[in-house]
Amino acid sequence: MPRRLCRARPAGLLVLACWLLLLPAGARGLGLYSPDDPLALLGGGTLERRVLNSSSAWVVEFYASWCGHCMQFAPTWKELARDVQDWRPAVMLGVVDCAEMTNQKICSDFKITGYPTLKFFKPFSRKADDGIRLLHHGDGIRSLRESIISNIERSEDAWPPACPPLEAFSAAELHGFFQANSVAYLALIFEKEDSFLGREVTLDMVQYENVAVRRVLQSNEELVKIFNVTTFPSGFLLFSNGSCDAIPVNGDSRSLYTSFLRRLPGVIQGIFPDHTVRPTAPPKTTPAPWKVVDRKKLYMADLESAILYTLRMEAARFLYLDRERLSALKQYVALLVKYFPGRLIVMNYLRNLDHWLGPRTNVSKSEWEEALRNKGERPYAWLPETPNWVGCQGSRPEFRGYPCSLWTLFHFLTVQEALQSSRFTSPSEVLSTMRRYVHYFFGCRECADHFEGMAAESMHRVKNKDGAILWLWSRHNRVNARLAGTKSDDPKFPKIQWPSQALCWSCQLIINGRRMWDERAVLRFFKSHFSRSNIYMDYMNFERGRPGRHGRDVEERDLKAEGNLEEGGGEDGQGAEEEFEEDSKRTDGPEQGREEKKRSGLDRLGASEPRKPSIIKIGKSAKVKELEDDIVDLDSFSEQHYKSKALKAAAQANDGHRRSRRDTGLVLMEEDNRRSFDYDAVWGRLKRKGLGGQHIMDAFEEEAGKEGETSLRRSQWFRLLGVGFSRLDVTLCIALYLLSSMCLLGMYTFFRMRMKYRKGRPGFPLA
């Protein structure tokens, strides 16, 4: 019967797993585990209360729900929890999801620096440092069981009260055993010194009364001779009346021994105070609505979420940042300042953080958290508080998310480095920075070790910036091939060799029946796909009411309209800093600053009533001071915020006779057969020819997010014709053109009628 039960269990678990998959995200529990699993779901408010000062020994898994190795290990940990659930209350199992923002501090306090981490806490542990790393050979449940038992035996100074003795039984203890212990049965299991069978059966019977289990080693010649034991393991059952019988179990079968002992007459399951695991109920939250996205686009929300997670979660895990780890963090933040084209408010935050890190040689966890708060000194320097996955959203919370956004961020940075750098033969600083970040900060240690192996194998052979783009692309595809079909593979977004033919049909070639990559086409596609003009602001949460100076609320200043990115992230960012200083000056007076903010044409996304100001370049004279409410000086603003729009129109106007596919990084898309351009290269060429457009009018800027790409394409020719002119100028030109056309038509009609009239008069000369 026990064998049949063991065979039937996987089928039942499969049905349970399918049922759980059909539940809403909020009903499946936290992370990779649910309240139906026989273990404790712990968190920031329950971990210390349940584990510390407990009379039970605890084994806790600290994991991250996005970690691929954690997903692979979760079924093993669940199986172990079911296998040792009868060891409670002597041994308890729990889990903590360190990917949850609310658990970040508790995981840091328990010194968790990688995932998954298993820690053993002996009974009556007083502090987080009392937990020791659970070392085991492999991820099998047998190895885990044996490691738990070994740690219990080493806790002689704090033995679990509910746990019976696990040491070897002696002949001296046999005499008078029933007088000293009020039990009806004593089971002796004879085994070799390296066997764990006797100790496992002893723990299996923790919850059962009226029976005791002891192990006898093969080296105990006295007891071996008394019971005439010739094979190991063997079992004997002693009765309180002095009789003895052999236990009818052959071989090393823990389940058979346990089943036999539990069916003995008078053996009953006891009740222990800590017997029932009380899992933490999942929070009652409404699942986020599904975001409909375009796979051809990049989303600023994903890029900012990657930066948020790396700084607030990954770098904040360590109690101290010093030496190589601090150097890697400085290099990473400096790289973001140099190449990331974020919103001005985010770039100010990164520049402030880079400046703060510069002179420091040692940073504690509290200092780092204080620096991330960015209190009050720069009210327009801000980073989102919580991740917002858009293009990287998964079909379930544990899928994609942070790993997807981190790949996207580093792909984007390698492309920006290649597009901005004039020294194409110099080594890539993005690759070296990424390697150091993954080595020192990436939480999934198995993934980090695998990436380090790939880097050590071939990264030194990358000689230029374009080579860095291709190296990262090929290694990403290698990782996708390794993880395809595993637990971490999202069934809705399977890991494929990227880019697919739907995105880039020219990137893949079939030669002699084999599918091959055209690296030149891949490079062109990457420079187009990961260009700044392909970043979209969809689903962004522009938070307002953030506390500012003088105790008042300051609305968020955002210099990005939907689809328009600042050119920032360059070497010095001087223009952005000057703009930031001007904004700061406007906030000196509470009411005055608020009115200035409402009138500013640079605060379109933050204003409650968006306006469309006239765009005319004016001089800094006193006569035009009163016009500043409706006029914005766009001498530099137009280049930063309307660049991509003008480039699209200019590229289309000049495509037929001024561009080649190789010049622009052109990629033909299979779905709609449209062309995609490297707009940064086009912009640079237009500027060199004097066509940069210092005062670019965009009449449809405020409606871009509502009308989408259709209205954008309709307005491209209008914006191209309107380069250098305001709306009034263009309107007047059109009106004058119509008036002149009507005048010409009237003159033509007048002279035509006059000619007919004169022909009809007598005496008119005829030919």
pLDDT one-digit tens code per residue, 519-539: 999 999 999 999 999 999 998
**Cβ–Cβ under 8 Å, residues 385 and 372:** no
Residue 731 has pLDDT above 90, yes or no: no
- Quick one: how far is CA 549 from the chain centroid? 32
Q: Sorting pLDDT into bands at 50, 70 and 90, what band is 404? A: very high
**CA atoms in the 13 A half-sphere facing the CB of 606:** 26
Residue 599 has pLDDT above 50, yes or no: no
Residue 703 has pLDDT above 50, yes or no: no
The owner of tokens 């979209």 is 536
Average pLDDT estimate for 170-181: 88
Lowest mean pLDDT among 5-9, 690-694, 726-730: 5-9
Who has greater pLDDT, 485 or 726?
485
Catalytic residue among 6, 67, 107, 743: 67
Lowest mean pLDDT among 154-158, 214-218, 511-515, 636-640: 636-640
Residue 10 has pLDDT above 70, yes or no: no
| CA separation for the pair 24, 34 (Å, rounded) | 12
CA dihedral of 581, 582, 586, 588, whole degrees rounded to 10: 30
Look at residue 212 in the predicted model and tell me its pLDDT: 94
Look at residue 507 in the predicted model and tell me its pLDDT: 92
| CA separation for the pair 470, 761 (Å, rounded) | 85
| CA separation for the pair 549, 588 (Å, rounded) | 9
| CA separation for the pair 709, 3 (Å, rounded) | 63
Residue 600 has pLDDT above 60, yes or no: no
**Cβ–Cβ under 8 Å, residues 280 and 274:** no
Lowest mean pLDDT among 96-105, 279-288, 322-331, 467-476: 279-288
* pTM attached to this predicted model: 0.65
| CA separation for the pair 715, 597 (Å, rounded) | 29
Who has greater pLDDT, 643 or 363?
363
Residue 169 has pLDDT above 80, yes or no: yes
**Cβ–Cβ under 8 Å, residues 98 and 109:** no
DSSP output for 229-266: --SSSEEEEEETTS-EEE----SS-HHHHHHHHHTSTT
Name the percent of the chain lying above pLDDT 90. Answer: 44
**Cβ–Cβ under 8 Å, residues 648 and 713:** no
Q: Sorting pLDDT into bands at 50, 70 and 90, what band is 765? A: low
The residue type at 138: G
Who has greater pLDDT, 608 or 105?
105
pLDDT one-digit tens code per residue, 56-84: 999 999 999 999 889 999 999 999 999 99
Torsion sign, CA atoms 40, 43, 45, 48: positive
Look at residue 670 in the predicted model and tell me its pLDDT: 32
Q: Sorting pLDDT into bands at 50, 70 and 90, what band is 291? A: confident
Q: What is the mean pLDDT of the chain?
A: 75
Q: Sorting pLDDT into bands at 50, 70 and 90, what band is 385? A: confident
Lowest mean pLDDT among 476-490, 550-564, 680-694, 718-732: 550-564
* CA-wise closest residue to 630 among 612, 617, 608: 612
Look at residue 727 in the predicted model and tell me its pLDDT: 62
Helix (H) or strand (E) holding 19: helix 2-22
Look at residue 477 in the predicted model and tell me its pLDDT: 93
Catalytic residue among 18, 70, 444, 733: 70
Look at residue 51 in the predicted model and tell me its pLDDT: 94
Query: Could you give the C-alpha distances from 245 to 227, 237, 255, 263, 538, in angstroms and in order?
Result: 10, 5, 19, 15, 76
Look at residue 422 in the predicted model and tell me its pLDDT: 67
pLDDT one-digit tens code per residue, 210-267: 999 999 999 999 999 999 998 999 999 999 888 999 999 888 889 999 999 999 999 9
Cβ contacts of residue 304 below 8 Å, gap of 6+? 342, 346, 383, 384, 388
Q: Sorting pLDDT into bands at 50, 70 and 90, what band is 198? A: very high
| CA separation for the pair 73, 140 (Å, rounded) | 9
Average pLDDT estimate for 439-466: 91
Q: Taking CA 678 as the corner, what is the angle to CA 672 and CA 680, rounded to the nearest 5 degrees? A: 145
* Tokens (6 digits) for 541: 């949460």
Residue 314 has pLDDT above 60, yes or no: yes
107 is catalytic: no
Q: Sorting pLDDT into bands at 50, 70 and 90, what band is 381? A: confident
| CA separation for the pair 572, 355 (Å, rounded) | 12
Query: Could you give the C-alpha distances from 169 to 130, 172, 256, 615, in angstroms and in order?
Result: 30, 9, 21, 92
Residue 110 has pLDDT above 80, yes or no: yes
Name the percent of the chain lying above pLDDT 70. Answer: 67
Question: What residues form DSSP beta bridges with 115?
Answer: 444
Q: Sorting pLDDT into bands at 50, 70 and 90, what band is 700? A: very low
The owner of tokens 């260009």 is 531
Look at residue 50 in the predicted model and tell me its pLDDT: 93
DSSP output for 104-141: HHHHHHTT--SBSEEEEE-TT--SGGG-EE---SSS-H
Q: Sorting pLDDT into bands at 50, 70 and 90, what band is 542? A: low
Q: How many CB atoms lie within 10 A of CB 358?
A: 10
pLDDT one-digit tens code per residue, 493-517: 999 999 998 899 899 888 888 889 9
Average pLDDT estimate for 340-349: 91
Burial state string for 661-682 with b = 16 or more CB within 10 A and e = fewer than 16: eeebbbbebeeeeebbbbbbbb
Instruction: Please tell me what DSSP assigns to residue 192.
Output: -
Q: Sorting pLDDT into bands at 50, 70 and 90, what band is 378? A: low
Question: What residues form DSSP beta bridges with 188?
Answer: 214, 236
| CA separation for the pair 355, 586 (Å, rounded) | 24
Look at residue 510 in the predicted model and tell me its pLDDT: 84
**Cβ–Cβ under 8 Å, residues 78 and 17:** no
Helix (H) or strand (E) holding 675: strand 675-676
Q: How many CB atoms lie within 10 A of CB 264?
A: 16
The residue type at 22: L
Residue 726 has pLDDT above 90, yes or no: no
Average pLDDT estimate for 458-479: 93
Domains by residue range for the chain, with CATH: 27-158 (3.40.30.10), 171-269 (3.40.30.10), 300-385+541-610 (1.20.120.1960), 392-498 (1.20.120.310)
Average pLDDT estimate for 716-720: 44
| CA separation for the pair 361, 32 (Å, rounded) | 38
Who has greater pLDDT, 405 or 569?
405
Q: Is 444 helix (H, G, I), strand (E, B) or coil?
A: strand
Helix (H) or strand (E) holding 739: helix 727-759
Residue 48 has pLDDT above 60, yes or no: yes
* Tokens (6 digits) for 611: 């306006």
Classify residue 420 as left (phi > 0), alpha (psi -120 to 50) or beta.
alpha
| CA separation for the pair 368, 622 (Å, rounded) | 47
Average pLDDT estimate for 31-41: 89
User: Is beta strand 546-547 parallel, antiparallel or unpaired with respect to 553-554?
Assistant: antiparallel
730-733, long-range: CB < 8 A, 24+ apart: 730/697
Lowest mean pLDDT among 295-299, 455-459, 612-616: 612-616
Q: Sorting pLDDT into bands at 50, 70 and 90, what band is 725? A: low
Average pLDDT estimate for 30-52: 88
Q: How many CB atoms lie within 10 A of CB 123?
A: 22
Look at residue 306 in the predicted model and tell me its pLDDT: 95
447 is catalytic: no
Who has greater pLDDT, 547 or 44?
44
Look at residue 31 in the predicted model and tell me its pLDDT: 65
* CA-wise closest residue to 157 among 48, 275, 57, 47: 57
Look at residue 271 in the predicted model and tell me its pLDDT: 72
| CA separation for the pair 95, 487 (Å, rounded) | 18
Who has greater pLDDT, 732 or 407?
407
Look at residue 272 in the predicted model and tell me its pLDDT: 61
